Amino acid sequence: MSSIFHLVYYSRAAEDLSYTDIREVLDVSRRNNTALGITGLLIFRDGFFLQLLEGAEKDVRDILNRIREDDRNYSIRVMIETESADRLFEGWSMAFYDGDISTNSTQYLVDLFEAVLEGGMTKKNLIMPILRKFRASAPDLK
Ligand SMILES: Cc1cc2nc3c(=O)[nH]c(=O)nc-3n(C[C@H](O)[C@H](O)[C@H](O)COP(=O)(O)O)c2cc1C
């Protein structure tokens, strides 16, 4: 079985970002990611994006390069690059969690973002179990 490359980054959302912009990001992401076999999770909260991309390393890096060029976000900081045998988000071309309007797992997200922004989430053994828990606690993300 080929190994899966996982990459987690966070970025600042453009100040004038609208929900229409997010909708468009999700639509194009799901189309491209399905074609490339990329899966993952995008979280939006309080002006920040946090995204997990997983798939073949080259494809993930190509997508990340596109996102770096995308002026709907800026100041991208890659937190984690790792490989494992399994996908965390099998079957999810890009799950989305809106931390501003959903109350489900809100405290959990606050803790997650705070930990990331404080630089305390750089180890895969810390973030991977948290993402797994997050997926399990919010089955309506798709
Ligand atoms: C926060 C954020 C996350 C994104 N995630 C993805 C993604 O997972 N896959 C993807 O193809 N594009 C993603 N995009 C969009 C890319 O930046 C780019 O607009 C898109 O890949 C272009 O696709 P196209 O050449 O098919 O139009 C994201 C953009 C932003 C701002």
Mean pLDDT of the chain: 80
Residue 131 beta carbon below 6 angstroms from any ligand 1 atom: no
- What are the phi and psi torsion angles at 74 (to 5°)? -160, 175
Dihedral, 141, 25, 83, 68 alpha carbons, nearest 10: -150
User: Domains along the chain?
Assistant: 4-137 (3.30.70.100)
- How far is Cα of residue 136 from the mean position of the Cα atoms in its chain? 15
- What are the phi and psi torsion angles at 104 (to 5°)? -60, 125
The one-letter code for the residue type at 138 is A
Q: How far is the CA of 48 from the centre of ligand 1 (A)?
A: 16
* Residue 24 token pair: 């468009």
Instruction: Return the pLDDT at 115.
Output: 64
- DSSP E strand boundaries for the chain: 4-13, 39-45, 48-55, 73-84, 95-98
Highest mean pLDDT of the ranges 1-5, 18-22, 67-71, 92-96: 67-71
Which position has the higher pLDDT, 31 or 1? Answer: 31
Smallest CA separation from ligand 1 atom 13, residue: 29
**Average pLDDT of the segment spanning 11-38:** 95
pLDDT one-digit tens code per residue, 73-117: 999 998 888 888 878 788 889 888 777 766 555 566 566 656 665
Distance CA 136, CA 79 (A): 22
pLDDT-derived band of residue 129, with 50, 70 and 90 as boundaries? low
**Average pLDDT of the segment spanning 115-121:** 58
Smallest CA separation from ligand 1 atom 24, residue: 28
Are 102 and 59 in contact by the 8 Å Cβ rule? The answer is no
Beta bridge partners of 48: 12, 45
**Average pLDDT of the segment spanning 31-39:** 96
